[in-house]
């Protein structure tokens, strides 16, 4: 019940409920530097926005500032999309393992118009750690990261919100090594999704091959790819889950861990004991997460209640008493 107490009851809202009701703070005509400091460098870029690092030198506080430039104020659909992202972020802002939304407002200058989102700054993401350390990081640490991701996604799903872009880059860590989910631009309210969303290598078969699909179940598939990354320090064998990818089709017809993971064993002498003791259990979870049939794909609830998942040691804040099993900060 400890995990389940950290998630709320499902919301009944759908995408159609989101409109221009999002209330941003009053317009700013200059960026509020006294509050959020000055721009230091660009740290991210999306389809329609940029993320910059800002520093308030007086308080030595850092912020991630996401900005969307609107050259045409009549671009209602795009503004609604940004409003929906802010709305979704507000709904889950107090959840476990969710990056904190601090502020959002409109910024108008003489010639330009922006929508600004101020967020907690996180120094790096799990892809950074994956590329730098890989199998050098203890498996127990990697599985702790994975469990934190699942707890964050479980919170979102219990708000009836699907992330739709789960990948290592969108799983950031703070200075203590706590995982925080970011980027809700592709997220949906409700379980119905349309069209391509997320990173192709993490996206489920139905996203690639169907016009309409269950967004919640698509998130489960992405968690399966993340677990391959975290446990095996490897990638899946296929490039995308499309019907023109021969390796994926082979997995579809012969679903096994040998046909799912690119590198099963890298002769990791540092983690032999952990690897051997956990491999069978984790392989079973991976195959349940990567079930082609969405009706047999494991649910987030059943994953939370899985014996292996429950027994996996995880660092997380609980009732304001922080529990730390691993020294993640040495890798941050």
Kindly compute the dihedral angle of the four CA atoms of residues 204, 208, 210, 216, in this order, to the nearest 10 degrees. Answer: 30
Strand-pairing partners, residue 154, are none
Minimal CA–CA distance to 297: which of 221, 183, 185? 221
Q: Which residue shows structure tokens 């064998």?
A: 237
Strand-pairing partners, residue 124, are 173
Q: Which residue shows structure tokens 């104020």?
A: 73
Catalytic one of 165, 183, 219, 283: 165
Residue 47 half-sphere exposure toward CB, CA atoms < 13 A = 10
Q: Which two tokens stand for residue 38?
A: 């000055």
Helix axes 139-158 and 272-289, enclosed angle (nearest 10): 30
Q: Which residue shows structure tokens 């975290």?
A: 230
Is 66 flagged in the annotation as binding? yes
- 165 carries an active-site annotation: yes
Hey, how many other C-beta atoms are within 10 angstroms of the C-beta on 88? Answer: 24
CA dist 116 and 183 (Å) reads 14
Q: Which two tokens stand for residue 102?
A: 């601090």
Q: Which two tokens stand for residue 226?
A: 């993340």
Give me the active site residues, please. Answer: 165
């Amino acid at each position: 019940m400890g995990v389940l107490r950290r998630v709320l009851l499902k919301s009944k809202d759908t995408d159609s409920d989101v409109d221009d009701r999002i209330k941003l703070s009053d317009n700013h005509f200059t960026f509020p530097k006294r509050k959020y400091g000055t721009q230091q460098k660009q740290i991210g870029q999306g389809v329609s926005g940029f993320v910059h690092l800002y520093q308030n030198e007086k308080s030595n506080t850092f912020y991630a500032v996401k900005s969307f430039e609107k050259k045409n104020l009549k671009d209602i659909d795009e503004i609604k999309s940004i409003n929906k992202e802010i709305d979704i972020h507000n709904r889950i802002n107090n959840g476990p393992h969710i990056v904190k939304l601090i502020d959002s407002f409109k910024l108008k200058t003489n010639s330009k118009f922006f929508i600004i989102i101020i967020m907690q700054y996180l120094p790096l993401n799990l892809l950074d750690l994956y590329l730098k350390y890989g199998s050098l990081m203890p498996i127990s640490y990697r599985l702790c990261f994975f469990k934190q991701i699942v707890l964050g996604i479980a919170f979102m799903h219990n708000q009836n919100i699907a992330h739709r872009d789960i990948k290592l880059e969108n799983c950031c860590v703070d200075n203590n090594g706590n995982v925080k989910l970011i980027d809700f631009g592709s997220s949906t309210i409700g379980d119905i999704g349309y069209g391509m969303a997320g990173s192709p290598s993490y996206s489920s078969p139905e996203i690639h091959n169907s016009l309409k699909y269950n967004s919640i179940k698509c998130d489960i598939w992405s968690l399966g790819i993340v677990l391959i990354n975290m446990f095996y320090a490897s990638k899946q064998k296929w490039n995308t889950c499309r019907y023109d990818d021969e390796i994926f089709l082979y997995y579809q017809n012969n679903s096994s861990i040998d046909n799912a993971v690119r590198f099963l064993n890298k002769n990791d002498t540092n983690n032999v004991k952990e690897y051997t003791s956990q491999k069978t259990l984790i392989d079973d979870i991976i195959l349940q997460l990567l079930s082609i049939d969405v009706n047999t794909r494991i649910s987030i609830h059943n994953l939370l209640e899985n014996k292996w998942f429950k027994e996996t040691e995880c660092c997380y804040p609980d009732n304001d008493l922080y529990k730390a099993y691993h020294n993640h900060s040495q890798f941050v």
